[in-house]
């Protein structure tokens, strides 16, 4: 039986791969306007980074990480030996921990420096149960801003994310932006205790996972999808009643800046994002309909303590990640089709084998000029070479036979107008250069080749 891609992964075939490139480019264009610079970190890191950064009690770390192990270390483990901490590796389940590690390691935010604004795009890995919109390898685009705790950072981050969705074609009225503040190390402990006390009172109505969560991190229970737990957590204390003055002022300022930018949002005091590192602002963007339960297309927040967790000096941070595959599902639900392959500029058809070497040279010359060019590689008949040219959506087909070659010419057919003219081989290069110049303008291209 032929092997298939592992469960929870998908191939990005050429049409989709082109769209993914466009997706990343659009993000780079928009985020670049806000000062974000590209960074790329390894696909795997020391497991400890995720344990310390994301939190041991999170689903992502406790259940969903893929470990990566070298053959040598696997042998050691199987032989009952232990391996060094630095050899315990995991595929990255998210991008923030790796970027923060890179910022600390490379000292990208020296004392007194302007914040480091960084963006990344690439695959993340989580051993989740695959379903529509939930994969084990998926792509994220994300940003991190390290070194500033002002609410302007949070607000401009949320605004640029919403601008991105619009630019990629997800209408704002199909989305819902949820915001909340999770407080800080001063005010959150009292809130945590209040939630734990509330959960203890309702212990007999909660699932086993939530009972375990109530011991380690009670706030995780807000994420539980079980109906019974969700109903209980509806009545739990609200963080908004516990925020300290500084956190409240920060949260109010973020909301005011969003109001000024005309961004609508819903305050959701139960929005507690799945990772432990968040402080103050958290937010999530959901698609309103057509996506089932996996409707979150992006989210993030502030993490003012994370840098210290991974061994850096205190450096406030803010970031978000958006899911490429979920955005694509949202776009397809709204009727978008993936753009097809761009047309081939020139197809060179050979009448018989005696001219194939010259055809090969013409195609090569066209590519060197900067055009897309193709020829038959399978000894097809002239008729089926034309079929191939059609399939490739060729703009021009050049036909070369022994008679043309003997006269030093080639026939050039414009496939849109079906007009054909004879061009001298020695004039081909300058013709190709003019084609390249006029390529953006289909009418001009037609004219160029049809004129006598």
297 contributes a contact to ligand AMP by CB under 6 A: yes
C-alpha distances out from residue 367 to 296, 307, 428, Å: 43, 49, 13
270 contributes a contact to ligand AMP by CB under 6 A: no
Choose which of 126, 202, 213, 250 interacts with ligand AMP (CB under 6 A).
Answer: 126
> Is residue 323 left, alpha or beta, with left meaning phi > 0 and alpha meaning psi from -120 to 50?
beta
In angstroms, the CA 297 to CA 133 distance is 10
In angstroms, the CA 120 to CA 42 distance is 11
Two tokens, residue 243: 């925020």
277 contributes a contact to ligand AMP by CB under 6 A: no
Give the three-class secondary structure for 328: helix
Rounded to a whole number of angstroms, the minimum distance from the CB of residue 297 to ligand AMP is 5
Choose which of 138, 165, 242, 265 interacts with ligand AMP (CB under 6 A).
Answer: 138
274 contributes a contact to ligand AMP by CB under 6 A: yes
Rounded to a whole number of angstroms, the minimum distance from the CB of residue 126 to ligand AMP is 5
Paired with 178 in beta bridges are 266, 284
Can you give the C-alpha Rg of the chain in angstroms? 29
Choose which of 144, 149, 156, 325 interacts with ligand AMP (CB under 6 A).
Answer: 325
The residue among 316 and 323 lying less far from ligand AMP, judged by its C-beta, is 323
323 contributes a contact to ligand AMP by CB under 6 A: yes
Within 10 angstroms of residue 1's Cβ, the number of other Cβ atoms is 3
In angstroms, the CA 280 to CA 157 distance is 14
**# residues contacting ligand AMP (CB under 6 A):** 18
**Residue whose pair of structure tokens reads 């160029």 in the numeric block:** 448
Residue whose beta carbon is closest to ligand AMP: 323
The residue among 59 and 404 lying less far from ligand AMP, judged by its C-beta, is 59
Residues 40 to 99: which contact ligand AMP by CB under 6 A? 94
The residue among 155 and 321 lying less far from ligand AMP, judged by its C-beta, is 321
Contact 95, 110 (CB under 8 A): no
Rounded to a whole number of angstroms, the minimum distance from the CB of residue 131 to ligand AMP is 9
Contact 394, 347 (CB under 8 A): yes
Paired with 89 in beta bridges are 46, 68
356 contributes a contact to ligand AMP by CB under 6 A: no
Candidate segments 106-114, 130-138, 242-250, 408-416, binder of ligand AMP by CB under 6 A:
130-138
307 contributes a contact to ligand AMP by CB under 6 A: no
The residue among 143, 158, 164 whose CA lies nearest residue 263 is 158
Choose which of 135, 175, 279, 350 interacts with ligand AMP (CB under 6 A).
Answer: 135
Paired with 322 in beta bridges are 141, 298
Rounded to a whole number of angstroms, the minimum distance from the CB of residue 133 to ligand AMP is 6
Binding site for ligand AMP (CB under 6 A): 94, 126, 128, 133-135, 138, 140, 274, 296-299, 321-323, 325-326
């Amino acid at each position: 039986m032929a092997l298939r891609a592992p469960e929870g992964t998908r191939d990005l075939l050429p049409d989709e791969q082109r769209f993914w490139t466009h997706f990343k480019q659009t993000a780079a264009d928009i985020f670049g306007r806000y000062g974000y610079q590209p960074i790329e970190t390894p696909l795997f890191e020391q497991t400890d980074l995720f344990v310390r950064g994301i939190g041991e009690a999170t689903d992502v770390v406790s259940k969903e990480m893929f470990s990566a192990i070298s053959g040598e270390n696997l042998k050691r483990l199987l032989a009952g030996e232990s391996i060094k901490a630095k050899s315990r590796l995991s595929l990255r389940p998210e991008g923030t921990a790796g970027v923060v590690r890179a910022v600390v390691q490379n000292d990208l935010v020296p004392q007194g420096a302007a914040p480091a604004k960084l963006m990344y795009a690439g695959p993340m890995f989580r051993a989740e149960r695959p379903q529509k919109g939930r994969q084990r390898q998926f792509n994220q685009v994300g940003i991190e801003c390290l070194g500033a705790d002002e609410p302007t950072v949070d607000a401009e981050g949320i605004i640029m994310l919403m601008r991105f969705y619009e630019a990629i074609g997800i209408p704002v009225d199909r989305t819902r932006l949820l915001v909340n503040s999770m407080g800080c190390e001063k005010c959150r402990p009292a809130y945590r205790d209040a939630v734990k006390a509330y959960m203890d009172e309702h212990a007999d109505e909660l699932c086993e996972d939530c009972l375990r969560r109530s011991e380690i991190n009670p706030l995780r229970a807000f994420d539980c999808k079980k109906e019974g737990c969700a109903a209980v957590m509806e009545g739990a204390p609200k963080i908004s009643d516990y925020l300290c003055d500084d956190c409240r002022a920060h949260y109010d300022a973020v909301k005011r800046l969003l109001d000024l930018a005309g961004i609508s949002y819903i305050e959701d005091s139960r929005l507690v994002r799945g990772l432990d590192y968040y402080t103050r602002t958290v937010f999530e963007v959901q698609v309103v309909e057509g996506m089932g339960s996996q409707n979150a297309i992006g989210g993030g927040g502030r993490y003012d303590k994370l840098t210290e967790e991974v061994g850096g000096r205190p450096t406030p941070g803010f970031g978000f990640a958006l899911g490429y595959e979920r955005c694509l599902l949202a776009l397809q639900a709204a009727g978008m089709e993936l753009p097809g392959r761009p047309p081939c500029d020139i197809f060179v058809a050979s009448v018989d084998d005696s001219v194939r070497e010259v055809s090969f040279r013409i195609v090569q010359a066209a590519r060197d000029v900067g055009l897309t060019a193709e020829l038959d590689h399978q000894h097809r008949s002239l008729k089926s070479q034309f079929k191939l040219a059609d399939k490739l959506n060729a703009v021009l087909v050049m036909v070369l036979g022994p008679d043309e070659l003997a006269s030093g010419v080639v026939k050039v057919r414009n496939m849109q107008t079906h007009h054909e003219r004879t061009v001298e081989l020695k004039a081909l290069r300058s013709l190709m250069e003019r084609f390249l110049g006029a390529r953006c303008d289909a009418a001009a291209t037609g004219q160029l080749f049809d004129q006598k």
